[in-house]
Structure 1
């Protein structure tokens, strides 16, 4: 097949969906089984799968990064066999639940309704609840919620022990998914964030949630979604989901995979989406039940360290080979080195200027205009003052997090305005000196961190390249790959063209480039801008577009 002909197949495919990110493409629902970072859009996924099925007659699909299971569910809807993997235990739970076929639906519904109806009454009369324990549990949960969640966990265990063996997996998937979602809503985390940030004391005082009622609602919502899914699902298919590392797909040897559809992480968890942090509290509560009833093991509470680019995720691939396989990545490497040198010079110059300012203050020969006229130092000092006010207000515990941010900015403006007055008080100069000392430490850390940042970006790409090699090994000749990626920003100003890096790698492996599609984000839980890590004043656009790389493996491909 000529690549230009294949390209024509894809033209006109509109992927710019608007509205809410639904549970599935085949029915509209405001509900969802569980929140999860960076979910793929079901309408986009099903459009891609339909096109792959129509033009390439695919039957078996692999997603080595299953996430919350969108690709798995849409494959089931289209009658495609699905194989998926992930290293995050929560991801495996959610994907297995989302793609679950509920047999004897009326019995399952009746049994779970009776179970949830009984929980509140049993809790009222319970004389003893064995409280769950793990590190910092009191930091993330109020005492009342710890008791309620511990009781729910206790009752889930009793129920699963006593239920019929042939229904145990179905019950376990539904109950533990609902429990995980209840844990997240019951926690003192800022639920708008995917990383672990605790609410302000002011917000914690106002936080009042009944975990038992939340759990009941989660069960009812999840059941309704699964029942609706089972009504529409067209045929019985294979759905094989395993907790495996995408860098080793040897468990799929012998399977005739003819399509890859996946959305990989855009970078390491530390600098992009922290899937492990998002999942940690749920896993700390339920890892024993997940292991016992579903065989989903949790080997560490910090899965981020083992995901692509993580501190404990190792690979033996030659970095030189990875870079040589992509002109785009090679140019990125050179650009990162250039920016590192440039930024290091800038930071060292700021440190030199800061040392002079602090020396003049100590010698009673301080001219405040020197600081005010140095834009970078002025903004760094202002940010340091704002941060200290924020921490002070947060510790006081009288305001919500939103109000703390506003008040901290107001107090900072007052302080900075005082610096422009003719006569600076000794107290003000004393406070300023303490802030400048912290600014100097920050700049020193920036200089040290620059080469480390380059190293971490390259480490991630080394590991992603291994995944690309693995997908190539298990894909049938003539098979097709579709990778959904975004272009992230590193070092404050460098755009990483993930799509072209992937295209380069696939071409180096002998693939034919078919097309790279583009779509606008219309619903994503990310800010439109982030602040740079230097002064927090330079706004950087976050990923506002997704890019879908379509490539095909020739039928004559030779290993």
Structure 2
């Protein structure tokens, strides 16, 4: 069947869902089992699976990057066997919980609700609690929450140790998922961020939370969703989820997998979504329990360096080969090299201008217009002054994060307005001159970092190609693949055509290109623009669309 005919099948598919990102496509719920970065939209995943099932009769789905388990749950609901992997232990916990079939529902519910009631009562009369500890625990948690979570951990351990038989896994998944979510909510992190940022002193002072009551609420919410899921999804299916590196999917060979549906990382964790940072605190608290009761091992508490493109992740693929197999990637490589050369020349000019500025201040010939005419240099210096004020205000317990940010910007503007009115103010000029070495170091770091950034981007693509190769090895003849990707912006201005690169690679492997679908983000947790890290002035557009690459493996011909 020709690709143009197959393409017609997809035209009626509308993937631009709006509203809340629900727990599942098949029932509405305001709750969720756990926060997780970059969750796929259940309705979109369901629509894709239904279409693939209708047109290609798929029955076994693989997701090499399971994330929070959306593909796993939607596959189960549609009566398909699911296979999945991820390197993040928290991801494995959440996916196994989401795809869990709860047997003896009434017994599980009553037992766990009784357990949460008992720990709240027991804690009120507890005088001695063995406190859990790890590095910087008191930086991320208040003393009373450390005590509450330590008590909770001991109680969970004691409860699971006494559990026997098939119920132990069910109890473990539910309790440890709720425990992880409680840790997240009880921490002094800014909970709307996925990277580890601490609250302002003002917000910390106001932060009051009862971790035991949070845990009780998490258990209740989780039980409600799992019970509801079990009522609706009655299909008997196989679910096989492994803590595994997607660069080696040999454990899934000969499983008869006829569909791949996945949403890979858009880049390395350092520059995109920091899955490891997001999961770190939960794993520090619970890694021993995950290992003891679920067999989920935690080799590293922060997995970012081991994920695709990470510093500790290695690749055996040659750059020449992946470039040869994708014209889109070759064009990206050319653009990055040109951008890199231009950026380094520009930064060297900034260093020269900075030296002139320093000499002018020291010689008493400072001219404010020289600063204004060198806009990029001016913004770098303004940012350094802003940081000074930010650090001062950040010690205040009376200001929120937003107020600190606004106050720092206002004080910076006031400083430069005053300097412009009185360019001979020696104290202000001395302060300005004292910032020059810091700005110089920032520029020099960027000169060194720009070529490294190009290499790290190419390293990510080498590793992603390995995953593509692995999916091809486990996919049966005439099987289909659907990859959900975003087109991110790199090096400040270059748009990465991920869909184009993937399509090129699949075609080079002998796949038939079926279609590339596009949808608008509606549940995006990123702003429409982000600021460059150097000056915080240049706006960079973030991803506002998702693209779904759909390809089919051509049947091998007998010779």
The interval holding the TM-score normalised by the smaller chain is over 0.9
Distance 1:181 1:33, change over 3 A: same
Shift, 1:301, TM fit: 1.3
Shift, 1:535, TM fit: 2.6
Alignment match, 1:280? 280
Query: What is the rounded CA distance, in whole Å, between the counterparts of 1:237 and 1:387 in structure 2?
Result: 55
Alignment match, 1:510? 510
How large is the Cα RMSD of the aligned pairs?
Answer: 1.1
Query: What is the rounded CA distance, in whole Å, between the counterparts of 1:49 and 1:252 in structure 2?
Result: 20
Alignment match, 2:455? 455
Deviations 1:311-370 (A, max 9, x none): 111011111101111100011011000001101111100100110110121122222221
Deviations 1:458-482 (A, max 9, x none): 0000000000000001101100000
Does residue 61 of the first structure (1) align with residue 64 of the second (2)?
Answer: no
Deviations 1:94-135 (A, max 9, x none): 000000000000000000011000111110112321111111
Where does the alignment leave 5 or more consecutive residues of structure 1 unmatched? none
Alignment match, 1:421? 421
Deviates further, 420-429 or 374-383: 420-429
Alignment match, 2:167? 167
Deviations 1:438-457 (A, max 9, x none): 11111111101000000000
Moved over 6 A (4+): none
Does residue 319 of the first structure (1) align with residue 300 of the second (2)?
Answer: no
Q: 5 Å matches for 1:262-411?
A: 262-411=262-411
TM-score by length of 2: 0.99
Q: Secondary structure at the match of 2:550?
A: strand
Query: What is the rounded CA distance, in whole Å, between the counterparts of 2:129 and 2:226 in structure 1?
Result: 31
* Contact 1:78-1:234 within 8 A present in 2 as well: no
Query: What is the rounded CA distance, in whole Å, between the counterparts of 1:428 and 1:302 in structure 2?
Result: 43
Q: Secondary structure at the match of 2:208?
A: coil
TM-score by length of 1: 0.99
Query: What is the rounded CA distance, in whole Å, between the counterparts of 1:173 and 1:113 in structure 2?
Result: 15
Query: What is the rounded CA distance, in whole Å, between the counterparts of 1:356 and 1:464 in structure 2?
Result: 45
Q: Secondary structure at the match of 1:471?
A: helix
Alignment match, 1:25? 25
Where does the alignment leave 5 or more consecutive residues of structure 2 unmatched? none
Shift, 1:374, TM fit: 1.2
* Contact 1:492-1:540 within 8 A present in 2 as well: yes
* Contact 2:419-2:425 within 8 A present in 1 as well: no
Q: Secondary structure at the match of 1:477?
A: strand
* Contact 1:478-1:555 within 8 A present in 2 as well: yes
Q: 5 Å matches for 1:43-192?
A: 43-192=43-192
Q: 5 Å matches for 1:255-266?
A: 255-266=255-266
Q: 5 Å matches for 1:212-223?
A: 212-223=212-223
Shift, 1:165, TM fit: 2.2
Shift, 1:557, TM fit: 6.2
Q: Secondary structure at the match of 2:421?
A: coil
Alignment match, 1:499? 499
* Contact 2:79-2:237 within 8 A present in 1 as well: yes
Q: 5 Å matches for 1:542-557?
A: 542-556=542-556
Query: What is the rounded CA distance, in whole Å, between the counterparts of 2:370 and 2:268 in structure 1?
Result: 40
* Contact 2:367-2:423 within 8 A present in 1 as well: no
Deviations 1:135-160 (A, max 9, x none): 11011000000000000000000111
Aligned length: 559
Query: What is the rounded CA distance, in whole Å, between the counterparts of 1:422 and 1:288 in structure 2?
Result: 62
* Contact 1:60-1:83 within 8 A present in 2 as well: yes
Query: What is the rounded CA distance, in whole Å, between the counterparts of 1:487 and 1:260 in structure 2?
Result: 20
* Contact 1:60-1:82 within 8 A present in 2 as well: yes
* Contact 2:384-2:439 within 8 A present in 1 as well: yes
Does residue 539 of the first structure (1) align with residue 548 of the second (2)?
Answer: no
Query: What is the rounded CA distance, in whole Å, between the counterparts of 1:436 and 1:558 in structure 2?
Result: 70
Shift, 1:241, TM fit: 0.3
Q: Secondary structure at the match of 1:184?
A: helix
Deviates further, 397-406 or 302-311: 397-406
Shift, 1:41, TM fit: 0.1
Query: What is the rounded CA distance, in whole Å, between the counterparts of 1:287 and 1:317 in structure 2?
Result: 33
* Contact 2:482-2:548 within 8 A present in 1 as well: yes
Q: Secondary structure at the match of 1:396?
A: coil
Deviations 1:465-513 (A, max 9, x none): 0000000011011000000000001000000000000000000000011
Query: What is the rounded CA distance, in whole Å, between the counterparts of 1:186 and 1:267 in structure 2?
Result: 30
Query: What is the rounded CA distance, in whole Å, between the counterparts of 2:446 and 2:558 in structure 1?
Result: 47
Q: Secondary structure at the match of 2:166?
A: helix
Query: What is the rounded CA distance, in whole Å, between the counterparts of 1:269 and 1:551 in structure 2?
Result: 27
Distance 1:125 1:368, change over 3 A: same
Query: What is the rounded CA distance, in whole Å, between the counterparts of 1:557 and 1:362 in structure 2?
Result: 78
Q: 5 Å matches for 1:216-231?
A: 216-231=216-231
Q: Secondary structure at the match of 2:483?
A: strand
